[in-house]
Structures are given as structure tokens and as C-alpha cells.
Structure 1
Amino acid sequence: MKPFLFVTDLDNTLVGDDQALTKLNRQLSQHRQEYGTKIVYATGRSLTLYRQLQADKDLLQPDATIAAVGTEIYLNGSDTPDPAWSEKLSHKWNRDRIVATTAHFADLVPQPDSEQRPFKVSFFLTEAIAAEVMPQLQSLLEKQGLDIKLIYSTGQDLDILPRHSDKGLAMQFLRQQWEIDPAQTVVCGDSGNDIALFAGAERGIIVGNASYELLQWHNDNPADHHYLAEAACAGGILEGLNYFGFLE
């Protein structure tokens, strides 16, 4: 057995089946202890909301947490974002101008203050009008010279990020820092903001309860190295890790 890099979303991916999560935690903890496997959580949550979930669900302490849809990296339980990653994201990022531009769109409903982050501006946007609003918003922001990307997930969450950030790019940053072979990397997710993880990884596990937007992307981008699990949440992760041979 070799060490591997395990990267997983939290809500409705790692978390959602307590019994399976207990079993997965036990196996991952043992693998990390014996072989040096790295555990990374990649979540849309802010650090504040992540800490709440960590306490509620007794999650393992990760080697790193990718928070706020990939715009913040916290190493070894630190409360301070990794400065090297923050520096990479600051190029052509003007948060005040983005906020001012979005004020022209009445359909954008700001998410709570805890989810508004230095490199992330977040809204609720209904699925019925998302396809109409998002191209207009992207065009208006880019005309102002802002180097941004829009990520839509769970049929309601719209995040505006620096173009050079998302969960997948943050994962690749950590992989390079730790000098881990891409072939020894596996990612797990359930929704649209996890697509970037799958696009940047050698192996991916899509849990059985995945949302429509991720399943649609999977159908449009079929790949042998993406495993669509039958079981939901942590049960699906266990299924996929055994399929790929990462766990005995």
C-alpha cells in the first residue's frame, strides 16, 4: 500500500451517513498513521461554518482544509489562511467593484455575512433564472477588467471567485507543495462546485446522491477514472476507494 492524497467535499459527500462515516474515518485514520496518507477537506463553507460541522460530526483533523469554494487554504488546523495561496488570488481581484456591479441584479440575494469572504462574493440565485442572469453578470464583470469566474451549485448557490481559484486548483496547489503523484490522488464530491476537483484529478468518486449538475457534467465528460458510486455519502466514498484499490 502507498500513501495517497484524499480530497473530499463535506456536505452530502463525506457527511450524510453517520454509520458509514465512522467506518471511513477509522480506515482513513489507520491509513494515514501507517502510510502517511494526506486528508484534505474541500468545502464551500467558510471556516466558521466548517468548524461547526467538524464539531457536530466529529470529523477527523485534516492535513489541510480548502474552504470557501477553494479561495482559502488552512494547513494543519490553523485559523490563518495560507499566505502563498492568498497572494496567488489577489491578481486583478477587486471585491468592492464586484459587489457594486452585482447590486444591479435584483435576482441576486446575498448569502449570510459569514459566507462573504475576501476572495469570494456569494449569492442565492434560483435555478429558473440562473441561465439567464449568469451570462449577463459574467459579461458585465469582464468588461470592467475583472479576472473572475462564476460557480453555480445545488440549484441555488452562486459564487464569484478569482479566475485562478476553485477547489480543483487549490487541490493542485497542495499536491505540488506535498510532491504527491497525481496518480495517487482521489477526490470525492456531490455537486457543481466539485466539478473543478474532478477536472483536475486522476481519480474521482461521485457519490450516489450526487446533484443533477454534477451528474450532467459526468454524462457530458465520461471518463474511466471517474467512479459513480451506488451508495450515498461516506458509503459511496468507501465503495469508490475500494474500487480504485486505495484501501485494502
Structure 2
Amino acid sequence: MTQILFVTDLDHTLVGDDFAHEELNEWLLKARETGSKIVYSTGRSLIRYRELAAEAPLFEPDLLIASVGTAIYSRLEGEPDAGWQEKLKTGWNRDRVMAVTAHFSDLVPQADSEQSAFKVSFFLTEEVAIWLLPQLETLLKQQGLDVQLLYSSGRDLDILPRHANKGSALTFVRQTLGFEPNQTIVCGDSGNDIALFAAGSELGIIVGNAQPELLSWHRDHPTPNHYLAKSHCAAGILEGLQYFGFR
């Protein structure tokens, strides 16, 4: 088996089909035995990742990209990578972000576990998002804040430093581990995974149950490097691995 960097989202991508998940875990074990590295890239915080790991049969990763790319862990009991945290400071001021968002009563804060030094997260309905997001983005820019808004699954809004997302974190991890883009495969299902697929020339598997925002992006950015699976969740990943010749 060729050595690769395998990067996957968790909820509704890796997790969601127990039978296929077991088969994929067997493939991951073989991949690691040949020198491949396994990375999970999730919107979950480290706390919520641990909750999922206690419920689902997750293969233990080599690295965890958590909180939509704002934290990278090489040890699940340790602190986030200090080098990556330093890169996120430019143009970011959490207190000023919070001051701007306070003007919008339709922004419902997510749980404290989902907030961090470089991530401010809310629940927001699709109907309201249509008009609220442009206004919010304008106000943040007027405050001189270099941030990005990630809206996914029709409910989750994350405000992050400009250089903090799953794609930027992927590039940092890939270069740190010494893998080329053509040795890297990414998997996802929702809007916050777009950055994974847009990071560069990495191979990508979009699972069959992908959210509309990712499907729309995929239609607008066609490339032979990306495969849209018919099967859902882990079964879709296995289908994509077969398509790219990795199984």
C-alpha cells in the first residue's frame, strides 16, 4: 500500500455507518502499518471529540485537527500545537468579534465547550442567515478584523481568524509530516469541509450524504482530483478509496 496522509471529517463522514466503519478501520490499520498517517479534521472541540470517541469505534488518529482548524493536537491529552496557535493571532481580536456579534439577537451562542480563543460559534437559521451574514461580515471588516465566517449544515456559524480553517490546518500538518499533495486524501460532507477540498491539489472524497453547500461548491469547482461518492458516510469513503486505487 502506498504511504498516504489520510484526512477525514468525523460526523456524517467517517461516523454514521457502523458496518462500513468497521471495514474502514481495518483499512486504516493496514495503511498505518505501511507508514501512512491518519488525521481527523473536525468541527468538534477536543472535549466533544473525546465524547464521540467514547461512543463510536474510532481508530486512534496520529493527529487531531479540532474546532474547525483552530487547534491541532499531536497528543490527545496535551496542549494544542503552539506554532499553529501563533499563526492564528494576526488580525484576530476575540473581544472585538464578540462586541460586533452582540448586535444580532438572532445569533444563538453554542455551548461553552465549542468556544475557544480562536473560535466564536453560534447557531443561526438558514432563513435569517441570508440577510444577517452579509451585514455581520461588513461590520467585522469595518472594525479592522481579518476574519472569516463559516456557515454549514444550515445551522452552524463559526467566526475564525482568516488563516484558521480545516484547509490551512491541513497544509500545516501535511508540510510538518512531509507529505506531498498527491500523497494526501481528504474526506468530508459539509460547508466547513470546503476548505479541505480547496486547500490545493490533494485528492478528495465527498460522501454521498454531503450537505447542499458542499455539493454546490463541488459543482462550481470541477476537478478530476475530487470524487463524489454514491454511498453515505464510511461506505462513501471506501467507495472513493476504491475509485482512486487505494483499495
TM-score under structure 2 length normalisation: 0.98
Give, in angstroms, the shift of residue 92 of structure 1: 1.9
SS of aligned partner of 1:118: coil
Which residues of structure 2 form unaligned runs of 5+?
A: none
Do structure 1's residue 205 and structure 2's residue 168 form an aligned pair?
Answer: no
SS of aligned partner of 1:48: helix
Deviations along 1:10-42, one digit per CA (max 9) or x if unpaired, are: 000000000100000011111111x11010000
Q: Is the CA contact (8 Å cut-off) linking 1:8 and 1:42 kept in structure 2?
A: yes
SS of aligned partner of 2:6: strand
Q: Which amino acid aligns with 1:167?
A: K
Deviations along 1:89-134, one digit per CA (max 9) or x if unpaired, are: 0112110111111000111111111101110000011001212111
Q: Which amino acid aligns with 2:240?
A: G
Q: 1:31, 1:193 → 2: CA distance? A: 26
Give, in angstroms, the shift of residue 139 of structure 1: 0.9
Q: Which amino acid aligns with 2:212?
A: Y
Please name the residue that 1:126 is paired with. Answer: 125
Q: 1:177, 1:49 → 2: CA distance? A: 25
Please name the residue that 1:54 is paired with. Answer: 53
Give the count of matched residue pairs. Answer: 246
Q: 2:75, 2:243 → 1: CA distance? A: 29
Q: Is the CA contact (8 Å cut-off) linking 1:149 and 1:160 kept in structure 2?
A: yes
RMSD: 0.9
Q: 2:88, 2:246 → 1: CA distance? A: 32
Do structure 1's residue 169 and structure 2's residue 174 form an aligned pair?
Answer: no
Do structure 1's residue 214 and structure 2's residue 182 form an aligned pair?
Answer: no
Do structure 1's residue 109 and structure 2's residue 108 form an aligned pair?
Answer: yes
Q: 2:86, 2:77 → 1: CA distance? A: 17
Deviations along 1:35-54, one digit per CA (max 9) or x if unpaired, are: 11010000001100001101
- Percent of aligned positions that are identical: 62
Do structure 1's residue 234 and structure 2's residue 239 form an aligned pair?
Answer: no
Q: Which amino acid aligns with 1:99?
A: M
SS of aligned partner of 1:61: coil
Q: Is the CA contact (8 Å cut-off) linking 1:62 and 1:76 kept in structure 2?
A: no
SS of aligned partner of 1:123: strand
Please name the residue that 1:180 is paired with. Answer: 179
Q: 1:43, 1:8 → 2: CA distance? A: 8
Give, in angstroms, the shift of residue 79 of structure 1: 2.9
Q: Which amino acid aligns with 1:40?
A: V
Q: Which amino acid aligns with 1:72?
A: A
Q: Runs of 4+ in structure 1 displaced over 4 angstroms?
A: none
Deviations along 1:167-204, one digit per CA (max 9) or x if unpaired, are: 01000000011110110100000000000000014210
Please name the residue that 1:90 is paired with. Answer: 89
Q: 1:31, 1:204 → 2: CA distance? A: 17
Give, in angstroms, the shift of residue 55 of structure 1: 1.4
